[in-house]
Structure 1
Amino acid sequence: MESKIIETIKNTIYTIPGISSFANYLIDSYDISTDDVSNAVEISKFESIYKIKLHLVLFNGVNIKDVLTEVQSRLKYELERVHEFKQNFIVDVIVDDLK
């Protein structure tokens, strides 16, 4: 299940403008950018609801609120669509850096 979630996140995020890369929340470093989605996603489950925390690096100068709203709505829809609307998802987006 988690591999399907991570694959959906990877395929969806790269279509949204304003995102520089995923952010590795596991390290404390100057450059936290990563291509490894599994280091940028926290997945937890409570009963039948999946909670996704996605860490991102955005381009400097973008409207952060607009990008985050787009990521939340598009990612929630894509995750539920892939799981045939049988699972519920809560998506939290965290901006760890600007490039």
Structure 2
Amino acid sequence: METNIIDTIKNTIYTIPGIASFANYLIDSYDVVTDDVTKAVEISIFENIYKVKLHLVLFNGVNIKDVLSEVQSRLKYELEKKYNFKNNFIIDVVVDDLK
């Protein structure tokens, strides 16, 4: 199930303008940019509620609030649609850097 969530995140995020890349939350350095989605996503499960914490790098100059709102709403919809609206998803988005 987690691989399906990761694939959906990967396919959805690349369609949202303002996102430079995923951010690797596992390292503590100045360069957190990564193409590996598994290093940018934290997933926790409680009953049928999935909490997804997504770490991103945004382009400098974008409206952060608008981009994060778009990521949350679009990702929540795509994930719930994939599972026929039988599971609930809580999406948290973290901006780790600006590029």
TM-score normalised over the length of structure 1: 0.99
Shift of 1:48: 1.1
RMSD: 0.4
The number of residue pairs the alignment matches comes to 99
Gaps of 5+ in 1: none
Q: Deviations over 1:21-77 (max 9, x none)?
A: 000000011110000000000000011100000000000000000000000000000
SS at match of 1:50: strand
1:68 is matched with 68
1:38 is matched with 38
- Deviating beyond 3 angstroms after TM superposition, the runs of 4 or more aligned structure 1 residues are none
Amino acid at match of 2:5: I
CA distance in 2, matches of 1:8, 1:81: 10
Amino acid at match of 1:80: E
Shift of 1:20: 0.2
CA distance in 2, matches of 1:87, 1:52: 13
CA distance in 2, matches of 1:33, 1:85: 32
Identical-residue share of aligned pairs (%): 81
